[in-house]
Amino acid sequence: MQRTKLTLGALVASTALAGMASAQTELTLWYHGAGNEVESNILGGIIEDFNGAQEDWQVTVESFPQESYNDSVVASALAGNLPCILDVDGPVMPNWAWAGYLQPLPISQEAIDGHLDATIGRWDGEIYSVGLWDAAVALYARQSTLDELGLRTPSLEEPWTKEEFMGALEAAKASGNYDFALDLGTAWTGEWYPYAFSPFLQSFGGDIVDRDGYQTAEGALNGEAAMEFGEWWQSLFAEGYAPGTSQDPADRDSGFIEGKYAFSWNGNWAAANTLASVENADDVVFLPAPDFGNGSTIGAASWQFGVSSACEHPEGAAAFVEHALQDEYLAAFSDGIGLIPATKEAAQMTESYAEGGPLAVFFDLSAEQALVRPVSPGYVVAAKVFEKALSDIANGADVADTLDAAVDEIDDDIEANQGYGH
C-alpha cells in the first residue's frame, strides 16, 4: 500500500490553507440542474476553482430539479429564506426583481463586454443577472429535400418570405413523402410556446404585450397583425401542414430524424443528437426563421446568475459570477450540454460553435435574429395566457374571440398589479 509522506513544508502550507478556508465567508448558490451529471460536474469545477483562487468567499451549491426550481425559490422568498446566489430563467428575472427576490448585480462592464445581448438580464435600467449561454431555434431541413422540392436555400441575409415558406410546406405536403411537412413541437408545453412561437407573431408585426410601457396587450395581441398571425397559425393545423397539440412526444424527439417531417422547428440543444442520429449528417441544414413581413425573429435569453435580495455580500456573489464568465467555462458548458456560448471568443474554443463547426450557425442566429421575450414582471402570467390561446386556436377556436379574451386576461393582471412598476 503506497503511503504519502507529508513534509514539514507541506504541513505548514496545508495548515495555512485550512486557516484560509475557515476565514472564507460562505455563499450558497441555488441551481436548477439537479440530475444532470455533466452540468453539475462543470459547475462544480467552476466553484472549486473560484474557492481556491481567493481568500474571501466559499461558494457551495444546492441543486434542484428544473421542474420544481421556480416554485422552491418563490416559497423560500415568501419565507425569507433565500440563498445568496440564484439561478434564474431570463424571462422570469424581471418578475423576481419586481417582487423583491433579486437585487441589482454589481458587475463590472468589462466582465460582460462581448456577451450576446440576451445573456445580460436588465430590468428598470439596471443589470440583475448574467448568463453563461443562450439558446436559439432554427428550421431543421435536409439539403436533399430542398433540392428535390426545387426550393431556394434561405440564408441569414435572405431568409424565406412568408410566401416562400408556405410554398415549401405545400411542396412537401404535395410530395406525399412525409407524415407532415412541418414539426412545430406542439407536444411540448409551457415556456416552449412563447419562446418558440411568439417570434412568429412578432415577425407578423404583433406581440404578446405592447412593449411601449407594458401597460396593455390591446392592439399587440389582437390587432390586425396579430389576427393575421392567428389565422395563419390555425391554417397550419387545419390544412394538415403540421401535427396538432396531440402530437406524440416520441415523434417530436425522432420524427425529423426518421424522415416523418420535412422540416422541424427546434432548438440548438437538439441539434447535436440530430446530427449524430441521421443517416447523413452532412445533409442536415439549419435555416433561419422565415420573414413574415417585419424581419426574421427568434427567441432568446436562457438561465442566468443573479444575487438574491437576502444576500448580505453582493460583492462576493458578483465576484463569483465574474469568475464564472471566463471563456474557458463558457466553452466547457457548451461542449458539455450543447448550448450557445455567451461570447464569440468562447464559441471559437468549442467543438460545435467555432467557425466552420456543425452548429456555428446557431451563434449567428442568436446574435442577429434573437429578441428577448417581453421584459416585464407580468410576462410570467402573459406567457401562460399566450400558450393557452395558441393551443386553443390550433384546436379550432375562433381566432378573434380567443385573442380578445387573452388580451382581457393579460390586461386584468396588469391592472391588478398596478402596472408592475413600469
- Whether 242 and 348 map to the same domain: the answer is no
Length of the chain: 422
- The x, y and z cell numbers of residue 393, run together, are 386556436
Q: At what angle do helices 379-394 and 399-416 cross, to 10 degrees?
A: 170
- Whether 289 and 336 map to the same domain: the answer is no
Alpha-carbon distance of 375 to 31, in angstroms, equals: 22
- The x, y and z cell numbers of residue 197, run together, are 412561437
**Residue 108 burial (10 A CB sphere; 0-12, 13-18, 19+):** exposed
Instruction: Assess contact for 362 and 116: CB atoms under 8 A.
Output: no
Has residue 90 been placed in a domain? yes
Has residue 3 been placed in a domain? no
- Whether 354 and 292 map to the same domain: the answer is no
Alpha-carbon distance of 2 to 205, in angstroms, equals: 71
- Whether 342 and 397 map to the same domain: the answer is no
pTM across the whole model: 0.91
- Whether 350 and 291 map to the same domain: the answer is no
- Whether 244 and 382 map to the same domain: the answer is yes
**Which of residues 372, 387, 410 is at a domain's end?**
372
Which of 343, 313, 331, 337 lies closest to 130 in space, CA to CA? 343
CA distance readout (Å), 352 to 68, 122, 400: 31, 29, 44
- Whether 188 and 209 map to the same domain: the answer is yes
CA distance readout (Å), 354 to 55, 256, 330, 388, 422: 35, 25, 13, 38, 40
The vertex-12 CA angle with 6 and 14, nearest 5°, equals 75
Alpha-carbon distance of 248 to 99, in angstroms, equals: 38
Alpha-carbon distance of 28 to 390, in angstroms, equals: 39
* Termini Cα distance of the chain: 68
Tally of CB atoms within 10 A around 239: 13
- Whether 387 and 268 map to the same domain: the answer is yes
Q: Which residue has the cell 509522506?
A: 5
Has residue 272 been placed in a domain? yes
Has residue 8 been placed in a domain? no
- Whether 170 and 250 map to the same domain: the answer is yes
Cα dihedral sign for 326, 374, 298, 277? positive
**Residue 114: domain span:** 26-135+302-372
- Whether 77 and 185 map to the same domain: the answer is no
Has residue 11 been placed in a domain? no
Has residue 6 been placed in a domain? no
Has residue 242 been placed in a domain? yes
Which of 160, 162, 181, 179 lies closest to 170 in space, CA to CA? 181
Number of separate domains in the chain: 2
**Which of residues 372, 393, 412 is at a domain's end?**
372
Which CATH number is 162's domain given?
A: 3.40.190.10
The pLDDT profile of the chain, 422 residues, written as one tens digit per residue, is 232 333 333 333 343 444 444 589 999 999 998 889 999 999 999 999 999 999 999 999 999 999 999 999 999 999 999 999 999 999 999 999 999 999 999 999 999 999 999 999 999 999 999 999 999 999 999 999 999 999 999 999 999 999 999 999 999 999 999 999 999 999 999 999 999 999 999 999 999 999 999 999 999 999 999 999 999 999 999 999 999 999 999 999 999 999 999 999 999 999 999 999 999 999 999 999 999 999 999 999 999 999 999 999 999 999 999 999 999 999 999 999 999 999 999 999 999 999 999 999 999 999 999 999 999 999 999 999 999 999 999 999 999 999 999 999 999 999 999 999 88
- Whether 143 and 240 map to the same domain: the answer is yes
Has residue 4 been placed in a domain? no
- Whether 324 and 185 map to the same domain: the answer is no
